[in-house]
Amino acid sequence: MEVLYKSTRNGEIGVKASEAILKGLSEDGGLFVPDHIPALDKSLQELAGMNYREVAYEVMKLYLTDFTEEELRDCISRAYDSKFDTESVAPLVDADGTYYLELFHGATIAFKDMALSILPHLMTTSARKNQVKNDIVILTATSGDTGKAALAGFAGVEGTKIVVFYPKNGVSPIQEKQMVTQKGDNTYVVGIRGNFDDAQTGVKRIFADKELAGRMEAAGCQFSSANSINIGRLVPQIVYYVYAYAKLLEEGRIREGDAINVAVPTGNFGNILAAFYAKNMGLPIARLICASNENRVLYDFFRTGVYDRNREFVLTSSPSMDILISSNLERLVYRIAGDDAEANALLMQVLNGEGKYEITEEMKAQLGEFYGNYASEQETADTIRTLYERTGYVIDTHTAVASCVYGKYVKETGDARPAVIASTASPFKFTRSVMNAIDMKYNSMTDFELVDELSALAHVAVPKAIEEIRTAPVVHDHVCDRDEMQKTVEEFLGL
Ligand SMILES: *Cc1c(COP(=O)(O)O)cnc(C)c1O
């Protein structure tokens, strides 16, 4: 059955998957959502025998219904190849009785690679299918990891250009080095004097500028997005939840139909929304555990039904989750409003104006499958240290937030079902915070000394992504104010 994509702010628009991927964001400022969530059409037992690429096909074909089998399989095999340093693509590691789903084995060692290694192929295929002759200009706001993953995915891809905005003082040193050393004539990296929310808001504003869109068209180019507001990011993220379940089944750790819990370190609400979609497709997930850092706007939302971004923005050791405006929450709000675009649009208007909104009791009643909590900086560090001391396994700061919140969940509820924790980044990406959590004595070392120290301590080889940037020259040094983003884009495009 065909899936069409509707805007969360306008009940009438319905476009094909390839069109939604090309546009990124709907013209009315809404996000594209599937008009229904398709059910898995293979049994869990059948999925258990499949490799990552095969599971990816079984899941994605249900959403990208205007792609032919050949097109989709081609995108999948180009994406999930030797760019990943392990055959299984997303291995499950059992540590202390919990399963860590390692989503960081791609080119830039964060989970963003899971979707961004396929998005460029989905995008160029979509352009071909829709006879788009324009160059596609990818505009991306990043809290640190999306930027590099999108750059790696789109660098050198014919017919595309990519511009990345990151908060100049809001990312880890390794994250910044990864981005500013990016090669490729079609890449452009800019630090902004502001935080991630400023970057994301600026990008959304550029998207919505009709006058600029006209000039772009005349110059033979058009914008799209590599952020998780693009449905082409979200759909590939559903795959690994299905895959994780299938692996647990295959390894005999659960029986077919057993429900599992899933804990996700959350910022923009994209990763956990993908788990929610997986659950709605029929994957037996009991609780969706939404873990926040000290920017605990989502924890407050799940507790009170009030979303309020009027608060201090905290810079934490898990910078990829330093977000107060979680874009993808809009997709959940739309859903619990009964797919009511009008009701959702109203709430988003209030959010834009007052910076907060409250959902109805009826909507709140539908959030029972979610559990929200947060981890303080101290708790995050303690989680890394204790897990290391008990098992020798080293996790990054983001994963530690989820691990800590999962511990709180179990303590509160006694629910000891098998659980999967989304492990979203390699500890090598946040070396200083990770090593300081284990022992403050490391704080005097340089970033790359810490890399070698971590490698010895965790008995894990230094990832290629880190080796590459040790000596790589800085090729991007643009910095701009947050109100200069559009001008910067125009300069880059020669408009
Ligand atoms: C992006 C990111 C997150 C947050 O994911 P969302 O989909 O934005 O909720 C968590 N951890 C890491 C390492 C990330 O890069």
pLDDT tens for 27-57 read: 888 999 999 999 999 999 999 999 999 999 9
The residue nearest atom 14 of ligand 1, judged by CA position, is 320
Residue-wise pLDDT tens digits, 51-95: 999 999 999 999 999 999 999 999 999 999 999 999 999 999 999
- Cβ(383) – ligand 1 distance below 6 Å: no
- Per-residue pLDDT, 163: 97
What is the β-pairing status of strands 135-141 and 370-374?
unpaired
What CA dihedral angle connects 189, 194, 197 and 200, to 10 degrees?
-30
Listed residue (5, 47, 16) closest to 282, CA to CA: 47
* Number of C-beta neighbours around residue 369 at 10 A: 12
462: left (phi over 0), alpha (psi -120 to 50) or beta: beta
Contact criterion met (CB below 8 Å) for 448 and 470: yes
- Cβ(267) – ligand 1 distance below 6 Å: yes
Q: Which residues pair with 395 in a beta bridge?
A: none
- Cβ(269) – ligand 1 distance below 6 Å: yes
What CA dihedral angle connects 180, 184, 185 and 187, to 10 degrees?
-50
pLDDT of residue 207 exceeding 90, the answer is: no
What is the β-pairing status of strands 419-423 and 478-481?
unpaired
| Tokens of residue 58, six digits | 């079984």
Give dist(CA 429, CA 397) in Å, integer: 9
- Cβ(398) – ligand 1 distance below 6 Å: yes
Could you tell which of 101, 271, 399, 401 is best to mutate to test the pocket of ligand 1, judged by most ligand atoms within 8 Å of the CB?
Answer: 271
Residue-wise pLDDT tens digits, 147-173: 999 999 999 999 999 999 999 999 988
The closest-lying atom of ligand 1 relative to the alpha carbon of residue 323 is: 8
Give buried/exposed letters for 326-357 (b at 16+ CB in 10 A, else e).
bbbbbbbbbbbbeebbebbbebbeebeeeebb
Residue-wise pLDDT tens digits, 322-334: 999 999 999 999 9
Residue-wise pLDDT tens digits, 104-157: 999 999 999 999 999 999 999 999 999 999 999 999 999 889 999 999 999 999
- Cβ(172) – ligand 1 distance below 6 Å: no
- Cβ(265) – ligand 1 distance below 6 Å: yes
pTM over 0.85: yes
Give dist(CA 327, CA 369) in Å, integer: 20
Q: Is 112 a catalytic residue?
A: yes
> What is the pLDDT of the chain when averaged over all its residues?
96
- Per-residue pLDDT, 208: 86
Residue 301 pLDDT class (50, 70, 90 cuts): very high
- Cβ(380) – ligand 1 distance below 6 Å: no
pLDDT of residue 366 exceeding 80, the answer is: yes
Residue-wise pLDDT tens digits, 409-461: 999 999 999 999 999 999 999 999 999 999 999 999 999 999 999 999 999 99
- Per-residue pLDDT, 113: 96
Listed residue (48, 56, 15, 12) closest to 34, CA to CA: 15
Residues 6 or more apart whose CB falls under 8 angstroms from that of 395 comprise: 100, 383, 384, 387, 403, 423, 427, 434
The amino acid sitting at 231 is: I
pLDDT of residue 12 exceeding 90, the answer is: no
Interval between CA 359 and ligand 1 midpoint (Å): 25
> Hunting for tokens 């499949």 — which residue is that?
50
The closest-lying atom of ligand 1 relative to the alpha carbon of residue 112 is: 15
- Per-residue pLDDT, 228: 87
Query: What crossing angle do the helices spanning 270-280 and 231-250 adopt, rounded to 10°?
Result: 60
Q: How many separate helices (H) and strands (E) can be counted in the chain?
A: 22, 16
Q: Which of the 8 DSSP states describes residue 425?
A: B
Could you tell which of 140, 146, 266 is best to mutate to test the pocket of ligand 1, judged by most ligand atoms within 8 Å of the CB?
Answer: 266
Residue-wise pLDDT tens digits, 216-231: 999 999 999 898 889 9
- Cβ(427) – ligand 1 distance below 6 Å: no
Listed residue (184, 127, 138) closest to 161, CA to CA: 138
The closest-lying atom of ligand 1 relative to the alpha carbon of residue 111 is: 15
Could you tell which of 111, 148, 374 is best to mutate to test the pocket of ligand 1, judged by most ligand atoms within 8 Å of the CB?
Answer: 111
DSSP H stretches of helix in 414-460 = 431-438, 447-458
The closest-lying atom of ligand 1 relative to the alpha carbon of residue 398 is: 11
Give dist(CA 412, CA 300) in Å, integer: 17
Interval between CA 264 and ligand 1 midpoint (Å): 9
Q: What would the mean pLDDT of 185-202 be, rounded to a whole number?
A: 94
Residue-wise pLDDT tens digits, 462-482: 999 999 999 999 999 999 999
Contact criterion met (CB below 8 Å) for 239 and 60: yes
pLDDT of residue 13 exceeding 80, the answer is: no
Q: Which of the 8 DSSP states describes residue 213?
A: H
414: left (phi over 0), alpha (psi -120 to 50) or beta: left
What whole-number percentage of the chain has pLDDT above 90?
94
- Cβ(270) – ligand 1 distance below 6 Å: yes
Q: Which of 16, 23, 112, 279 is catalytic?
A: 112
The closest-lying atom of ligand 1 relative to the alpha carbon of residue 143 is: 1
The amino acid sitting at 462 is: V
